[in-house]
Amino acid sequence: MFDLIIVGAGIAGMTAAIYAKRAGLNVLVLERVMQGGQIINAQMIENWPGDFGISGVDLSNKIYHQMNKLGAKVEFDNVLAIENMGKSGNERFLVKSEDGEYSCGAIIVATGTEPRKLSDKQAKDAGRRPVSYCATCDGALYKGRTVVVVGSGNTAKHEMKYLEGICKKVYHIHHDDPIPADAEAVFVAIGRVPETGFLGNLVNLNSEGYIVAGEDCKTSCAGVFAAGDCRAKDLRQLVTAAADGAAAAEAAASFLRGKNS
C-alpha cells in the first residue's frame, strides 16, 4: 500500500511527487501516456521562470528526472476508477487501472485536460480522414497538401498560421460547419475539457466537469486532492499547475500525518 498515489504525470503531478517525496511519503505516480502532459506540444516556452525558450519536451524531461532522482515510483498505466474503501478518519483508496489495482491512504488527481473532440456531425463528415489536435506535432505530414482547421479561438488562429507556412491550402471553419470535401486532414482547435470522467461521484465537479477545490487543493472527499488544470480555477498555466502540485502534496502529507497520529 502506498501513502499517496498521484494520477497524471503532467507538470502538476510531477511537482506534487517532488514535494511528496521530500515530505517523506511513499509515492506512486500513474501516467497513461508519457510524462509532461499537454506541454509536450509546445515548441517554445517563454513564461517558465528561469528557462527562457525551453521546449515543452525538455522542460518535462528535466522535471521527470528530478522526480525520479527523489525516488518517486512511476507506472505507465491508465486509471479507470477510484473507490473510497475506508471509513471517515481512516480513509483508504483503491485505484483501479487498465493493468491492475493499487491502494493508498491519499490521492492527488492531476489529470489535466484533453482537446475537445469534433461534434458527431463533423466527425461523420471527416470520415476516414486523419484528425489531429496539434499542428506543430502533425503539420509536417501534410506539407504541400490541403487541410482544414476547425475552431474560432486563439489556438485555432495559431494553428492556421503554422499550417499556412507548410500546406498548399488551409481552410478555416467553425464548430459544426461542413468539412470541405478536398481537405486531406482535419486539425481541431475547439478548446479543452477536463479529464475527470473516471472519478464518477467520488468528488464534486462543477458544471463543466472541473474538480471543485480551493487553493489548498482539498476536494469534497477527505484524502482526495486536485492539482493543475483539472481543478476549477481562473488561470491554467505551467506555474499554476506547479503551484497546485506543491499545495496538494503539502495538504496530502498533512492529511496523512493527521490519520497516523
Ligand X SMILES: Cc1cc2nc3c(=O)[nH]c(=O)nc-3n(C[C@H](O)[C@H](O)[C@H](O)COP(=O)(O)OP(=O)(O)OC[C@H]3O[C@@H](n4cnc5c(N)ncnc54)[C@H](O)[C@@H]3O)c2cc1C
CB of 233 within 8 A of CB of 213? no
If binding is defined by CB under 6 A, does position 137 make contact with ligand X?
no
Cβ-based nearer residue to ligand X, 91 or 229? 229
If binding is defined by CB under 6 A, does position 113 make contact with ligand X?
yes
Residue number of the CB closest to ligand X reads 112
If binding is defined by CB under 6 A, does position 112 make contact with ligand X?
yes
Cβ-based nearer residue to ligand X, 160 or 238? 238
Cell numbers linked to 49 = 521562470
Which residue in 193, 176, 188, 195 sits closest to 134, CA to CA? 188
Which residue in 61, 53, 67 sits closest to 17, CA to CA? 67
Give the total of residues touching ligand X (CB under 6 A).
32
If binding is defined by CB under 6 A, does position 189 make contact with ligand X?
no
| Residue span binding ligand X (CB under 6 A) among the ranges 5-13, 140-148, 175-183, 214-222 | 5-13
Question: Does residue 138 have an active-site annotation?
Answer: yes
Cβ-based nearer residue to ligand X, 72 or 125? 72
Task: Quote the least distance from Cβ 91 to ligand X, whole Å.
Answer: 20
Task: Quote the least distance from Cβ 161 to ligand X, whole Å.
Answer: 13
- Using CA atoms, how far apart are residues 234 and 229, in angstroms rounded to an integer? 10
Name which position in 4, 8, 190, 219 contacts ligand X (CB under 6 A): 8
Which residue in 91, 138, 92, 108 sits closest to 31, CA to CA? 108
Name which position in 170, 226, 228, 256 contacts ligand X (CB under 6 A): 228
Q: Which residues is 108 bridged to in the sheet?
A: 6, 225
Cβ-based nearer residue to ligand X, 183 or 227? 227
Cβ-based nearer residue to ligand X, 10 or 151? 10
Task: Quote the least distance from Cβ 150 to ligand X, whole Å.
Answer: 16
Q: Which residues is 107 bridged to in the sheet?
A: 5, 224
- Binders in 40-99 for ligand X, by CB under 6 A: 41-42, 45, 47, 78-79
Task: Quote the least distance from Cβ 193 to ligand X, whole Å.
Answer: 11
Contacts to ligand X by CB under 6 A: 7-13, 30-33, 37-39, 41-42, 45, 47, 78-79, 110-113, 195, 198, 228-229, 236-238, 241
Which residues carry out catalysis?
Answer: 134, 137-138
